[in-house]
Amino acid sequence: MSDAIGTIDHLVIAVPGLDAAAERYRQMGFCLSPRGVHSAVLGTENHTIMLRQNDYFELLAVRISTDRNARWRHSIAEGGGLAGIAMTTTDAHAAHAIWQERRFAPEPPLKFARPVVCADGRKLEARFEVVSLPDVAETALRIFVCSQPTREAVWLPELLDHANGALGIRRITIDCPDPLASAAQWQKVLPDVRSRPGTGATILDTGRHEIVLRPAGTANARATGIDFVVADIAACGAHLSRMSVPHLATTGRIEIGPDFACNVNIGFEAAS
């Protein structure tokens, strides 16, 4: 994949209340970072869930309304859930140039930071540089690239072990009225993504992850699910049962519905 626009860096789950969402995800067996507070310009706060396979997701809430968080506020007003996808980059300015060449109107590169307190008391600063696209309706998600120049302040060792055994993100699912039209837009946005037919769906391969475009009788595309790889599917199910998390277990797979998981279908699959 490209150094400018690569594979999935992290996913954003927009939630109306950070405390309630954090409790649900802890109950599911995820280890959450301490609350992170972004700058006044961004007006948001989050918990990150860091995964060993070099990706992660975050629970994001709006602390104060600003121009920069209008998209997240809109998503929350619509019920929240999987609302954003960040792709890896080592050169945010190159990503900006690529999207301009493809006749999008990307926002200028934005640098920001948040303080991090480690388990041993050390104080670090996590720094990021992002370039965001305006909404592309067929993709259903807010798409941006995110550089990680301070990985040591984000992938902290104390955050990588999860009671459910989660190791990484395997795929996201998007329900859409026309998977082929959605695939065409995704391939315009992500230069190196590959498309292949799936069982009743179109699958985009970003290198380490899949984006599954599933036909649905909806007027607009909507991101509906995240599937995770776990070290031991039986141990994952046992944890969910101990914690009284409602779930459905089938051979090699466990599912948790959106009513429990903040409007996201959560799937766990055994590592292959």
Does residue 81 lie within any of the structural domains?
A: yes
In-domain check, residue 71? yes
- Residue 50 sits in the same domain as residue 150: yes
Question: Please, are residues 57 and 141 in contact by the beta-carbon 8 Å criterion?
Answer: no
Query: Which of 164, 104, 160 has the alpha carbon at shortest distance from 137?
Result: 104
Q: Report pLDDT digits (tens) over 244-271.
A: 999 999 999 999 999 999 999 999 999 8
State whether 104 and 35 are in the same domain.
yes
Of 159, 190, 211, which marks where a domain is finished?
Answer: 159
Residues 87 and 129 in one domain: yes
1 domain residue, yes or no: no
* Domain count for the chain: 2
Domain boundary among 159, 182, 214: 159
**Residue-averaged pLDDT of the chain:** 95
Do the domain assignments include residue 265? yes
Confidence of residue 103 (pLDDT cuts 50, 70, 90): very high
Residue 1 has pLDDT above 60, yes or no: no
What stretches of the chain show up as alpha helix (H) in DSSP?
18-27, 70-77, 92-101, 179-189, 233-242
Instruction: Choose the final residue of a domain: 110, 129, 159.
Output: 159
Asked whether residue 64 carries a pLDDT value surpassing 70, the answer given is yes
CATH number, domain at 197?
Answer: 3.10.180.10
pTM value is 0.96
Provide the domain limits for residue 107.
8-159
181 & 130 share domain: no
**Domain shared by 60 and 140, yes or no:** yes
